[in-house]
Amino acid sequence: MGSFIEKGLGPVGRDEAVSAPSRRLAAFTMIELLVVIAIIALLAAIIFPVFATVRENGRQTGSMSNMHDISTKMEQYKLDTQHYPEVLFGYAKPGVNMDKILDSCTASGDCPTYLVGLYPEYVHSWTEFQDPNNNVKLSDTKTPPELHLCSPSDTETACGGSLNGGALVLSSTPKPVYTADAYDLSPLVATSNSVDTTNYIMRYQTSWTSIDGTNLDCGISGSNTFAITENMCKSPNTGDLVNMYLNQLRWRNPPSNTYVTATTYHVQQASVVLVLMQDGSVHKIDAAKFQKLDGQITLDGSGVVVPKFWQVTL
Q: Is residue 3 included in any domain, yes or no?
A: no
pLDDT score, position 43:
82
Give 10-residue mean pLDDT values along the chain (314 residues).
50 52 64 85 78 89 97 96 94 95 93 95 96 94 74 56 47 81 95 92 84 48 42 58 74 90 96 97 94 64 61 82
For residue range 231-289, what is the model confidence (pLDDT) as tens digits? 555 555 666 655 677 788 988 889 899 999 999 999 999 999 999 999 999 999 999 99
Count of domains for the chain? 1
Q: Is residue 6 included in any domain, yes or no?
A: no
Q: Is residue 143 included in any domain, yes or no?
A: yes
Q: How far apart are CA 182 and CA 142, in angstroms?
A: 12
Q: What pairs with residue 283 in β-bridges?
A: 275
DSSP, residue by residue, the chain:
-HHHHHTT-SHHHHHHHHHHHHHHHHSPPHHHHHHHHHHHHHHHHHHHHHHHHHHHHHHHHHHHHHHHHHHHHHHHHHHHHSS--SSSS--PPTT--GGGHHHHHHHHT-HHHH--SSTTTTS--GGGG--TT----TT-EE-PPPPEEE-TT---GGGTS--SS-EEEPPSS---EETT-TTTEEEEEEETTEEEEEEEEE---S--B-S--TTT-TT--S-SSS---HHHHB-TTT--B---TT-STTSSS--TT-EEEEE-TTHHHHSEEEEEETTS-EEEEEHHHHHHHSSEEE-TTSS-EEE-GGG---
pTM reported for the whole predicted model: 0.75
Q: Is residue 4 included in any domain, yes or no?
A: no
For residue range 129-160, what is the model confidence (pLDDT) as tens digits? 999 999 899 999 998 866 666 555 555 555 55
The residue range of the domain holding 104 is 11-311
Q: How far apart are CA 262 and CA 253, in angstroms?
A: 20
Q: Which of 114, 126, 127, 128 is nearest to 85 (CA)?
A: 114
